[in-house]
Structure 1
Amino acid sequence: MTLTQNPGDGRAPCGAGSRTDVSPRTDPYTRSDPFDRPPEHEVAWTDPVTGARGWLVVHTLVGGLATGGTRMRAGCTRDEVADLARCMATKTAAFGLPVGGAKAGLDLDPRSPGALGVLERFFADLRPWLERSWVTAEDLGVAQSDLDAVFTRLGLDQSFHAAMLRSPNPAATLERVRRGLAARDGDGLPLGDVIGGYGVAQACLAAATALGSDPARATVAIQGVGTMGGGAAWYLHEAGVRVTAIADAAGTLFHPRGLDIPALLAARDHYGEIDRAAVPADVEVLPRDAVLAAPVDLLVPAAVSYALRAESVADIAARAVVEAANSPTTPAAEERLAVRGIPVVPDFVANAGAAAWAWWLLQGQVGTDPQDSFSRLRTEMQGKVAFMLDAWHTGHLLPRRSAWGFAAANLEALAGREITIP
């Protein structure tokens, strides 16, 4: 295991590049990303048993703490993890959370035998970070239940361990957080599993309103039906929005009058793929990337990073993109979308619901009543999206860049602040 301080820039899609093809009145397009700087800390790791590689990148510490999930996928790279850590730092700042941003990743297929053993050895070697400075959670390829099992075996209680130690009564705080995590929404779903998707749904509803559409008449296509995409689909369906296209690894399902989202989500397996035997006969089964060209108001990329590339922009028919995955749109794609008049609501706002909720829970600002959590997230998410799209319509400012503005202001306000957990 090696430790490198300030290893260099992991810049990628979260910091879209400056434009060169706009008129002088759109100069705000060239505003630089205030979070585009080298991370504060980095750990590179190699598993002594399998040779699998992993990384922890801590982009920003606030009050000595950083938060960010742990992902596992074949082909994961250091640059990917560094970019995601930077996005996480932007996300926590965008919601004014008193914590910095980090990310961890393992270059390993989560379906491979012994994957959980690799994860446990990774965390065992990173134990000093987990004990003092880094709070982690589920991410692509890693379920929260797997994290909790590994943390229990390591004697760390829960993945919020480092934050718990800031409390004057860690045992009481742990019990309060556990009660909050065990809370269920009105459909009986664990709040911690669905709050992120609920936030994406609220971002979509706000985007539809900003586009001048009645949200109940809006149409949405969602790429990915895992925790985030599936949750967004569920709550959009509940709000009366027609989800006409969804895509998993096996392909795209399309129906112009709207899909039966509850039935399709119930047919998912552990890896977020829908059993095709449960798909009604009147639903079209299309190639996986067909979801990008679906004739909808809103496109929600909720699967993998870098899914929307420059070469795919010409096929996109949506009026706006709401990013639910981490870094799903490349800088070049976002620039071309802007030329076509298609705004992108950035990931570090749209998919921040779970991170924001976890810290509200830790700080005792929400509890076991799901309506309190939904109400706060709905208010904050819709307000931020409305602000960004108003700046897009009236000031010719990319939503990502207006969001950088309020995120940077929040981070500056948090400088030097001591983090306390009640």
Structure 2
Amino acid sequence: MTATHTTNPAQDFVDREPAHQITWVDPVTGAHGYLVVHTLVGGIATGGTRMRPGCTISEVGDLARGMATKTAAFGLPVGGAKGGVDFDPKDPRAFGVLTRFFTEMRPWLDGRWVTAEDLGVTQQLIDDVFAEVGLSQSFHAAISRSPQPEETLARVQAGLEVMTDDGYPLGDVIGGYGVAEACLGAAEGFGWAIPETTIAIQGVGTMGGGAAWYLHEAGARVTAVADARGTLCDPAGLDVPALLDLRDEYGEIDRTRVPAHVQQLPREAIVGIAADIFVPAAVSYAIREDNVDAVAARVVVEAANAATTWGAEDALVARGVVVVPDFIANAGAAAWAWWLLQGQVGCDPQDSFDRLSAEMRAKVAVLAERWICDRIPMRQSGFALASSNLHALEGAQIVIP
């Protein structure tokens, strides 16, 4: 994906060269790792670390740009970055590879880069590796700036251990909750009744599964979900909680226990399911020039980073299909983490849900209004918001209580 999107008014933001790019080669396995810091605000940036075979510096750069846009769009006083390692996370050597990568990145992790889980890397693995390299927690770069770092660490750890009323760690579900709120905000913005709004979701992992759960709870009709094994569809609405209970450790649904009335279709069929909203929540570039014509939804809500190539998005916009961009729709986890660091949310999960709901719906409402009134694509409006906020934030000092 290149920065030539024809509908982007904040070109200075998109075309901005990364502040730093680092390539690392593992001396043991030969695996390549990358750190791209797109922007620094107050001398610090945030962004997860992913591990997958075939990960490239171009991919990491795109994701770092997306993270910078995400933090700026939500007015967070921190820049955007991303780490990536080209290695199979299921390989038994993965822990060692990630440990050596973070050891090499130690100067950044000590004070300038806050990282967390991403594709192929769980937060538990991140924390285990941080312990191995002698760092307290993956928010270390921010916590070390606090005048009372031990108290701040204790507060952050308490927040990360909060459980929801449903019995899930808040940090595991807040991102999916934010995506659900983006969907509900889009439905509200376009005047659709929530119980009549149909939604298809690609991916039932942390993000897609969480979004499906909270959309079901809100009364929306999730009619299709897809995992690595295929697409499951029921136009009357799927029993989302029951299906999520059938997932294995890899996030795949046990087909032997799926009700007989649920249609089982190929994995790629999810893109063409007729629904009000399509949520690509699995992989980057799920909607491309070669499959964009199959999209049958009225709105695409990007739960996965870079879920739509810009060429495909231009084709969707030309057809009148609205795209809620990733840096808005999936910003929930990043925003929540920073609110937690700054002491703006605590151990009551409802406070976190309420704040994210209010901020997400308000932003989507503004983008929807600009589309309805002036046919300004949501990405264009979102980039303009991020660019304006970033210019205001760049001289800010980071305050961690």
The structure-2 alpha-carbon separation of the partners of 1:341 and 1:81, relative to structure 1 and needing over 3 Å to count, comes to: same
Instruction: Say what the alpha-carbon RMSD is for the aligned residues.
Output: 1.2
State whether structure 2 residue 363 is matched by structure 1 residue 411: no
For residue 381 of structure 2, what is the aligned residue in structure 1?
402
For residue 282 of structure 1, what is the aligned residue in structure 2?
261
CA distance in 2 between partners of 1:30 and 1:152 (Å): 44
The structure-2 alpha-carbon separation of the partners of 1:114 and 1:418, relative to structure 1 and needing over 3 Å to count, comes to: same
Residue aligned with 1:34, SS: helix
Deviations 1:88-107 (A, max 9, x none): 00000000001000001111
- 1:136–1:159: 8 Å Cα contact kept in structure 2? yes
State whether structure 2 residue 147 is matched by structure 1 residue 168: yes
Once the two structures are superposed, the pairs formed by residues 3-22 of structure 1 within 5 Å of their partners are: 12=1, 15=3, 17-18=5-6
Residue aligned with 1:105, SS: strand
For residue 42 of structure 2, what is the aligned residue in structure 1?
63
Unaligned runs of 5+ in 2: none
How far apart are residue 31 of structure 1 and its match? 5.5
- 1:16–1:332: 8 Å Cα contact kept in structure 2? no
How far apart are residue 407 of structure 1 and its match? 1.0
CA distance in 2 between partners of 1:343 and 1:161 (Å): 38
Segments of 4+ in structure 1 off by > 6 A? none
CA distance in 2 between partners of 1:39 and 1:30 (Å): 19
Residue from 291, 298, 312 that aligns with 1:312: 291
State whether structure 2 residue 368 is matched by structure 1 residue 368: no
CA distance in 2 between partners of 1:108 and 1:179 (Å): 32
What amino acid maps onto 1:139 in structure 2? Answer: D
State whether structure 2 residue 51 is matched by structure 1 residue 75: no
Residue from 140, 145, 151 that aligns with 2:124: 145
How far apart are residue 114 of structure 1 and its match? 1.0
CA distance in 1 between partners of 2:242 and 2:51 (Å): 28
How far apart are residue 317 of structure 1 and its match? 1.0
- 1:33–1:404: 8 Å Cα contact kept in structure 2? no
Residue aligned with 1:311, SS: coil
For residue 90 of structure 2, what is the aligned residue in structure 1?
111
For residue 26 of structure 1, what is the aligned residue in structure 2?
none
- 2:226–2:232: 8 Å Cα contact kept in structure 1? yes
Residue from 310, 335, 353 that aligns with 1:356: 335
For residue 3 of structure 1, what is the aligned residue in structure 2?
none
How far apart are residue 277 of structure 1 and its match? 1.9
Residue from 310, 313, 319 that aligns with 1:334: 313
Q: Which stretch of structure 1 is more off in the superposition, 339-348 or 271-280? A: 271-280
Residue from 122, 125, 133 that aligns with 2:104: 125
After TM superposition, the score normalised by the length of structure 2 is: 0.98
CA distance in 2 between partners of 1:176 and 1:223 (Å): 35
Deviations 1:26-60 (A, max 9, x none): xxx66636232210001101111111111000000
CA distance in 2 between partners of 1:162 and 1:32 (Å): 30
- 1:221–1:299: 8 Å Cα contact kept in structure 2? yes
Residue from 179, 200, 203 that aligns with 1:200: 179
Residue aligned with 1:303, SS: coil
For residue 6 of structure 1, what is the aligned residue in structure 2?
none
What amino acid maps onto 1:18 in structure 2? Answer: T
What amino acid maps onto 2:38 in structure 1? Answer: H
How far apart are residue 69 of structure 1 and its match? 0.4
CA distance in 2 between partners of 1:234 and 1:387 (Å): 25
- 2:9–2:383: 8 Å Cα contact kept in structure 1? no
For residue 209 of structure 1, what is the aligned residue in structure 2?
188
How far apart are residue 216 of structure 1 and its match? 2.0
- 1:18–1:31: 8 Å Cα contact kept in structure 2? no
Unaligned runs of 5+ in 1: 1-11, 20-28
Deviations 1:200-251 (A, max 9, x none): 0000001112222101221100011111111101100111111111111111
The structure-2 alpha-carbon separation of the partners of 1:185 and 1:124, relative to structure 1 and needing over 3 Å to count, comes to: same
Once the two structures are superposed, the pairs formed by residues 222-233 of structure 1 within 5 Å of their partners are: 222-233=201-212
Deviations 1:316-365 (A, max 9, x none): 11110000000010011101101110010000000000000000000000
